[in-house]
Amino acid sequence: MMSLTLDEAEVSQITARLPDEPVASLDVAAARLCRTRADIVRQAVEDYLPGSLEYAVLNKGRVLYE
């Protein structure tokens, strides 16, 4: 699966509320990987959605991006 880059797709900004513990883990990961929080969250969403059962049910098995 090839994911879309920010240069290849329109982007939207979202806001999410998370408990402090996952945010602290996110900050540690971002620092270790020299990436931003947004980069890590974006990759996590891209990795999660195509394999999730809920995603497949909501989209009736269609592949939304290749």
Domain that holds residue 39: 20-58
Is residue 20 pLDDT above 80, yes or no?
Answer: yes
Round to whole Å and give the CA distance between 28 and 9. Answer: 28
Tally of structural domains, the chain: 1
Contact, 36 vs 30, CB < 8 A? yes
Q: Whole-prediction pTM value?
A: 0.62
25-34: pLDDT as tens digits: 999 999 999 9
Residue 7 lies in a domain: no
30-52: pLDDT as tens digits: 999 999 999 999 999 888 877 66
- Between the alpha carbon of residue 18 and those of residues 5, 24, 26, 53, the distances in Å are 25, 10, 10, 23
Query: What's residue 1's pLDDT?
Result: 47
Residue 54 lies in a domain: yes
Residue 4 lies in a domain: no
**Residue 17 binned pLDDT confidence (cut-offs 50, 70, 90):** very high
